Amino acid sequence: MNPFIIIALREFTTRVKNKTFLLMSIIGPIAIGALLVVPALIASNVDEDPKKLLVVDNSYLLVGTEKISKHSFQYLNPDEFDEESAISAVRDKETYDGLLFLPPSINGDPDFILRNTRLYSKGDIGMELTREIERRLGKLATEEKFKINGVDPAIVKNSATTVNIKNLDLTEEGSETSSLPLKMAIGFGASFFIYMFTFLYSAQIMRGVIEEKTSRIVEVIITSVKPIQLLLGKIIGIAGVGLLQFIILIAFSTIIYSIAGSFGLIGSDISQIASEDLVIQNVKSQTAVSEVIESLKNFNIPKLIGFFIFYFLGGYLLYGALFAAVGAAVDAEADTQQFMIPLTIPLLLTLMLGGQMMQEPNGTLATWLSFIPFSSPMAMMIRLPFGGVETWEILLSISLLILGFIGTTWVSARIYRIGILSYGKKANYRDLYKWILRK
Amino acid sequence: MNAIQSFGVDKKYENHVALHPLDISIPEGSIFGLLGPNGAGKTTLLRIVNQIIAPDTGYIEFYGQNIRSEDRRWIGYLPEERGLYKKMKVGEQAMYLAQLKGLSRNEARSRLHVWFKKWNLETWWDKKIEDLSKGMAQKIQFITTVLHEPKLLIFDEPFSGLDPVNAALIRDEILRIRDDGATIVLSTHRMESVEELCSHIALLNNGEKILDGSVNDIKESHRDGNFRLIYRSDKAINLSIPNEVHLVQNNADIKKGVFIAELQSQKQSASQIIKNLSSQVDTISFEEIIPSINDIFIKSVKK
| pTM, rounded to two decimals | 0.74
Give the pLDDT of residue A287: 53
Tell me chain A's radius of gyration from C-alpha atoms.
31
pLDDT band, very low/low/confident/very high, at A209 (cuts 50, 70, 90): very high
The domain spans of chain B are 2-220, 224-290
Q: Which residues of B117-146 are buried (b: 16+ CB within 10 A; e: fewer)?
A: eebebeebeeebbeebeeebbbbbbbbbbb
B191: enclosing H helix or E strand: helix B191-197
Contacts of B71 in chain A (CB under 8 A): none
Contacts of A439 in chain B (CB under 8 A): 54, 56
Give the pLDDT of residue A333: 83
Residue A12: CB atoms within 10 A of its CB come to 19
The domain spans of chain A are 3-42+178-437, 52-156
Rounded mean pLDDT of A310-323? 93
Of residues A7, A223, A421, nearest to B75 (C-beta): A223
B52–A222 C-beta distance less than 8 A: yes
Domain B2-220 has CATH 3.40.50.300: yes
Percentage of chain A lying above the pLDDT 70 cut: 83
**3-state class of B280 per DSSP?**
coil
- A409 phi and psi, to 5 degrees? -65, -40
C-alpha A375, offset from chain centre: 17
What is the distance between the alpha carbons of residues B102 and B113, in angstroms, rounded to a whole number? 17
Please, is A1 exposed, middle or buried when counting C-beta atoms within 10 Å of its C-beta (0-12, 13-18, 19+)? exposed
What is the distance between the alpha carbons of residues B14 and A438, in angstroms, rounded to a whole number? 10
Strand partners, A168: A177
What is the distance between the alpha carbons of residues A130 and A69, in angstroms, rounded to a whole number? 12
What is the distance between the alpha carbons of residues B251 and A211, in angstroms, rounded to a whole number? 61
Of residues B14, B75, B81, nearest to A434 (C-beta): B14
Which has more confidence, A174 or B157? B157
- What HEC string does A336-373 produce? HHHHHHHHHHHHHHHHHCHHHHHHCCCCHHHHHHCCCC
pLDDT band, very low/low/confident/very high, at A276 (cuts 50, 70, 90): very low
Are A360 and A391 spatial neighbours (Cβ–Cβ below 8 Å)?
Answer: no
Residue A53: CB atoms within 10 A of its CB come to 22
**3-state class of A96 per DSSP?**
coil
For the cut 70, the answer to whether the pLDDT of residue A104 exceeds it is yes
What Å distances lie between residue A246 and A243, A375, A380, B191, CA to CA?
5, 21, 19, 57
Interface test with B, best of A224, A420, A432, A439 (most B CBs within 10 A): A224
CATH architecture of A52-156: 3-Layer(aba) Sandwich (3.40)
- A5 interface with B at CB cutoff 8 Å: no
Which tens digits make up the pLDDT trace of B87-117? 899 999 999 999 999 999 999 999 999 999 9
Residue B285: CB atoms within 10 A of its CB come to 10
Residue B14: CB atoms within 10 A of its CB come to 7
For the cut 50, the answer to whether the pLDDT of residue A280 exceeds it is no
For the cut 80, the answer to whether the pLDDT of residue B223 exceeds it is yes
Give the pLDDT of residue A278: 40
**3-state class of A181 per DSSP?**
helix
- A219 interface with B at CB cutoff 8 Å: yes
> Looking only at Cα atoms, what is the longest distance across chain B?
74
pLDDT band, very low/low/confident/very high, at A46 (cuts 50, 70, 90): low
Are A53 and A71 spatial neighbours (Cβ–Cβ below 8 Å)?
Answer: yes
Contacts of A224 in chain B (CB under 8 A): 72, 97, 100-101
What is the distance between the alpha carbons of residues A189 and A140, in angstroms, rounded to a whole number? 42
Return the DSSP state at A105. P
What is the distance between the alpha carbons of residues A331 and B41, in angstroms, rounded to a whole number? 23
**3-state class of B215 per DSSP?**
helix
Q: Single out the residue of A335, A376, A336, A337 nearest to residue A353, CA to CA.
A: A376
- B200 interface with A at CB cutoff 8 Å: no
B210: enclosing H helix or E strand: strand B208-214
- B178 interface with A at CB cutoff 8 Å: no
Q: Single out the residue of B303, B2, B1, B3 nearest to residue B153, CA to CA.
A: B3
Please, is A264 exposed, middle or buried when counting C-beta atoms within 10 Å of its C-beta (0-12, 13-18, 19+)? exposed
Of residues B72, B104, B141, nearest to A223 (C-beta): B72
Following DSSP, what letter does each residue of A138-151 receive, concatenated? Answer: HHHHHHHHHHHTT-
Which tens digits make up the pLDDT trace of A372-415? 999 999 999 999 988 888 899 999 999 999 999 999 999 999 99
Are B163 and B135 spatial neighbours (Cβ–Cβ below 8 Å)?
Answer: yes
What Å distances lie between residue A52 and A58, A98, A391, CA to CA?
19, 7, 61
Give the pLDDT of residue A176: 60
**3-state class of B70 per DSSP?**
helix
Lowest mean pLDDT among A163-172, B21-30, B187-196, B209-218: A163-172
Of residues B47, B83, B87, nearest to A220 (C-beta): B83
- Say which residues have a Cβ less than 8 Å from residue A243's Cβ, sequence separation at least 6: A309, A313
Q: Are strands B65-66 and A175-177 parallel, antiparallel or unpaired?
A: unpaired
Interface test with A, best of B45, B100, B146 (most A CBs within 10 A): B100
Chain B: give the shortest CA distance to residue A317, in Å.
Answer: 24
- Angle, CA of A96, A98 and A100, to the nearest 5°: 125
B48 φψ region: left (φ > 0), alpha (ψ -120 to 50), beta (else): alpha
- A116 phi and psi, to 5 degrees? -110, 15
What is the distance between the alpha carbons of residues A368 and A55, in angstroms, rounded to a whole number? 56
pLDDT band, very low/low/confident/very high, at A177 (cuts 50, 70, 90): low
ipTM score = 0.81
Of residues B54, B99, B145, nearest to A1 (C-beta): B99
- B96 interface with A at CB cutoff 8 Å: yes
Return the DSSP state at A223. T
Percentage of chain B lying above the pLDDT 70 cut: 100
What is the distance between the alpha carbons of residues A47 and B112, in angstroms, rounded to a whole number? 69
Question: What is the side-by-side strand order in the sheet with B65-66?
Answer: B17-27, B2-12, B57-62, B65-66
Give the pLDDT of residue A44: 61
A170 φψ region: left (φ > 0), alpha (ψ -120 to 50), beta (else): beta
The per-residue pLDDT of chain B, averaged, comes to: 89
What Å distances lie between residue A84 and A79, A89, B186, B293, CA to CA?
13, 9, 99, 107
- A437 interface with B at CB cutoff 8 Å: no
Q: Single out the residue of A294, A270, A295 nearest to residue A178, CA to CA.
A: A295
A1–B100 C-beta distance less than 8 A: no
- A296 phi and psi, to 5 degrees? -60, -35
Interface test with B, best of A211, A217, A228, A435 (most B CBs within 10 A): A217
What is the distance between the alpha carbons of residues B27 and A287, in angstroms, rounded to a whole number? 87
Rounded mean pLDDT of B1-22? 90
Are B96 and B175 spatial neighbours (Cβ–Cβ below 8 Å)?
Answer: no
Give the pLDDT of residue A261: 67
Chain B: give the shortest CA distance to residue A330, in Å.
Answer: 17
Q: Single out the residue of B59, B19, B75 nearest to residue B42, CA to CA.
A: B19
What is the distance between the alpha carbons of residues A49 and A39, in angstroms, rounded to a whole number? 19
**3-state class of A235 per DSSP?**
helix
What is the distance between the alpha carbons of residues A436 and A438, in angstroms, rounded to a whole number? 6
- B118 phi and psi, to 5 degrees? -60, -40
A1–B84 C-beta distance less than 8 A: no
Q: Which of A101-110, A280-289, B74-83 has the highest mean pLDDT?
A: B74-83
**3-state class of A275 per DSSP?**
coil
Interface test with A, best of B52, B72, B152, B157 (most A CBs within 10 A): B52
Residue A156: CB atoms within 10 A of its CB come to 12
